[in-house]
Amino acid sequence: MQGFSKFFASRQSEREASGDRRPSIEERYVSREAYLEQVREVAQQLVAEGYVLEEDVEIVVSACAARYDAATKPSQEPG
C-alpha cells in the first residue's frame, strides 16, 4: 500500500511553532503505552463487531506502534 501521511506534531511546542492547530501527539496521548492500550481496546471492539479477526489484533497493534514511533522520532535537520 502506498500513500502519504502528515503526522501530528510530536510536541505542543512543535505544533505551536509551525502554526498547526491540530493537537500534538503529546497532547492527545499520555504515553506510547496509553496510546497502544487504546488501539488494543478498539481492535478488540472491532473483533466483537466482526470487522477484525482475533488473530490480527497483534498485527494491528504492532503496525500502530510502528506508526507512533515514526511520528514521534526526532526530526532530522538538513545539514
pLDDT for position 1: 61
For residue 51, count other CB atoms closer than 10 A to its CB.
Answer: 9
61: helix, strand or coil: helix
At 26, which amino acid appears? E
Residues 15-70: tens digit of each pLDDT: 999 999 999 999 999 999 999 999 999 999 999 999 999 999 999 999 999 999 99
pLDDT band at 12 (very low <50, low <70, confident <90, very high): very high
Whole-number Å distance between alpha carbons of 2 and 33: 27
Write down the residue that cell numbers 489484533 correspond to: 57
Average pLDDT over every residue of 3-12: 88
Residue 8 has pLDDT above 80, yes or no: yes
Of residues 6, 73, 68, the one with CA closest to residue 37: 68
pLDDT of residue 2: 78
